[in-house]
Structures are given as C-alpha cells and as structure tokens.
Structure 1
C-alpha cells in the first residue's frame, strides 16, 4: 500500500480534525489567528477542510467558500456542522490534491490548507502550488497553515517542550520514537502518521519557483508548526 493510500485509509472514517482541543472556544481562537493571516479576500478555497471546524468560523468573513476533503466521513460531518451553524455560503467538494482542480469552475482570492501539507512530498507540494496558482485571482494569496517544522517537530516528539520535561523522560521518549521509526521502515509504513516534517526554506524555494514571495510565521497554538503565506512577487 502506498503512503498516500495509507493516509487515506487512516482518515476515511474520521469525523474530526486534528486540532489540539475540540472545544468551540479553542476553535474560535484558532480561526481568528488564521483569519488574521488570510487577511481578507471575498472567495476562499479551503483544501483539507475536514469537518469544517475552522471553515464555519471563516464563513462570516467571505462571500463564498469552498471546502475540499478526500474523506467522505469528514465531509458528512462538515455538512452537518455547516447546517447547524446556518452557513449559506459554503460548498463542499470530495477530492484530493490531484482530482480537485478539474472540479473547480471559478477562481479564488485565498487558497488555504491547514494541517494538510505534511501529507504531501516536496514534489506534490510543488504541483499543488503550481495548480493553485492557476485558480488564484490577481492579488490572491496561498496560505498553508500548520506545517510540521523539520527543525522543531523532532524536539516536540521527544517531549522537550513539555512542562514536566526531564532527562530521563526525554531519553525514554527518544528510544520509543527510534523503535517506532525502525518498525515502520521494516513494515514499509510511514514513520509518522502525522506525515512529513518540511523545512520552511525548502517550501520557500518551491514558492519562489512559481513566482511567489513567502513569509514564514510561527503557529500560535502549535509550537512545532509554522504557516507559509505566499503572494505573487
């Protein structure tokens, strides 16, 4: 089974996104942070919208929104949430990063994805930005939220950022992560179900290749993640 299919299989029955907390208070705060970086626009495309936890908070700020996800169960939950929140300006599409573009019939001021890009290789990110640029309005932005930082994520995994971190716990956690990586490699499975950790400088080079400038911003709520804000140079 390919890595792509493994992740699709993992998410196929999921009903909630991978937010640190599922309370509405936290989702509201997280959405406000992301809206600040999205910084306007009228039409928004949210790739990997999941159960629309953030999308419904974006809705009052946009005229039209399109949420996309490859998980039918996620979109079922998204539809319920959209109806509950009485959002009349959101459409949903079942698609992945390869099939999405052929299902669109309009362009957007903002194209965003949160907690998704780590499931793509650098080659797939390159293709995603290239495809997205064709559906982006003149003054539009591509904003990729919550990308795993290859410099910080390994430190987070071994507990270095934990409030009760100590040498013994970090050593034990390091051993566990090492064994997990070896086991995954032997079984030809991804080393981490959260996906790939990407260096922001490599993502910036890809953005530049397609005519974008990129600003890297640290996530407020996930200390091992960053946001990539791209706009045409």
Structure 2
C-alpha cells in the first residue's frame, strides 16, 4: 500500500484569525495619524467609503470623520473586534463593520461608494482574485468613484529593502549575506508549506495596470511616503 504525507493547505484567513494588530511600521498614534493623513490626501474626497481589509481599524478611525458613511470589512473576527472597540471609543455613528472576504463582501452591500480602498491587501490576493475584486468593486462605485489600493509591494524595491539597501548602515558586503539568508528562508518556507513571509505576494505596476484595464480602469501610481518598497495605485474609470 502506498502512503504519503499530505501537507496542510495554508490559509491567510486562518493566519489572521487571532491577530489584533495591523502590519504598520509603527503602532504609535502619531505615526498612524500621519499615515492616515497621506492616504486621505490620495482618497481626495467623496462622501461614502468602503475600507476593505480594515484590520484592527488603525487607519479606519482616521477616515471616519471625513465621510458621511464608512463601511469597514475584514475576514479576521479578532481584527474586527479591535476595530469595533476603537469605533466605540470614538463614539462614531456613521460606520458599520462587516465580517467578509473578497468573495462574500459584495452580497453584504446595498449602496454605491465614492471610494473603495484597501491597504496592504493586494499582497494576499492572487491575480485572479485581484481581477475579481476590481470587477466587483466597479459595480459598487458611484459615477465618479475610484478604487485606491494602498501599499502594494513593489518586487524590485522589496528585495532591496530586505537586504538593507535603504538602511543608513548599509554595507556592500551585506548584499551577499542578505541574499544567502533570503534563500534559506525561502527554502524553509517551501518545506513547511508556509508563505515566505508575512508580506505575501508582490505585484509590479505593469501587472496591476494590465488587470485594471480589463475592467476599463485607468491607473495612476504614487510612491508610498512611509514604506520604501510600496506604492499606491489609484484606479479611475476610463471615460
């Protein structure tokens, strides 16, 4: 009889099921307020906002005062519980929180949004999931609505960041050391059937634009102010 050990399938939903903080560089209120301010600048108005992958609400609570209606969505109940605590502490009445993922969220919505945003979420979606998200989001946008993906990982700059290129103490010899450690981590992750790291997938701007154009969106790119290896993509309908 032939037997084989079958690896358990990894799930981001399971990974985040008990997490209570987002993956921000710093968790201080001062930093989060600055990060939110940058993102609000690129959101550039509107009255209704869908924040997909809102996590523990670190940025969500800064968005809420700027909109008449905000809906936060996440597939982690523990994260949503933390977001709910923040909303209650601020006594916000114009925000709803929904437990859902990129497939189920659309059945929970019955309004159009001026802005649909997701921060550091694209990395957890496959190209097929990303295309489906954009297609579904398009149907829930108001006439002049926009989709804004914040903090998409740029594969070129991410690797440079990993080996310490952006560090003030960067030394040329660290390229070799960093590359070796990176290979070992990748091999270990493969053997354990786990993601290489919490970052997930990286997407080049070219691929994002290719996917977005299939749903008739024009894409504008902006470099992130607070993460050297990330960029933002602002999607507007082609008129």
Secondary structure, in 3 states, of the residue corresponding to 2:155? coil
Identify the residue that residue 191 of structure 2 maps to in structure 1: 186
Identify the residue that residue 227 of structure 2 maps to in structure 1: 222
1:74-126 superposed Cα distances (whole Å, 9 cap, x missing partner): 00000000111221111000001111111111111100000111111111111
Matches within 5 A, 1:82-231: 82-231=87-236
Identify the residue that residue 34 of structure 1 maps to in structure 2: 39
CA distance in 1, matches of 2:169, 2:26: 20
CA distance in 1, matches of 2:153, 2:9: 21
CA distance in 1, matches of 2:224, 2:92: 27
Runs of 4+ with deviation above 3 angstroms:
none
Identify the residue that residue 67 of structure 2 maps to in structure 1: 62
CA distance in 2, matches of 1:136, 1:76: 27
Alpha carbon RMSD of aligned pairs, Å? 1.0
1:175-224 superposed Cα distances (whole Å, 9 cap, x missing partner): 11110111222232222221101001110111111011000100000010
1:34-66 superposed Cα distances (whole Å, 9 cap, x missing partner): 001000000000000011111110111100000
Matches within 5 A, 1:1-16: 1-3=8-10, 5=11, 7-16=12-21
**Of 65-74 and 8-17, the range deviating more from structure 2:** 8-17
| Rg (Cα) greater in structure | 2
Structure 2-normalised TM-score? 0.94
Structure 1-normalised TM-score? 0.96
2:55 to 25, 46, 50: 50
1:124-183 superposed Cα distances (whole Å, 9 cap, x missing partner): 111110010010111000000000001211111111111111123332222111101112
Secondary structure, in 3 states, of the residue corresponding to 2:156? coil
Secondary structure, in 3 states, of the residue corresponding to 1:145? strand
Gaps of 5+ in 2: 1-7
| Residue 18 of structure 1: how far off its partner (Å) | 0.7
CA distance in 1, matches of 2:147, 2:65: 20
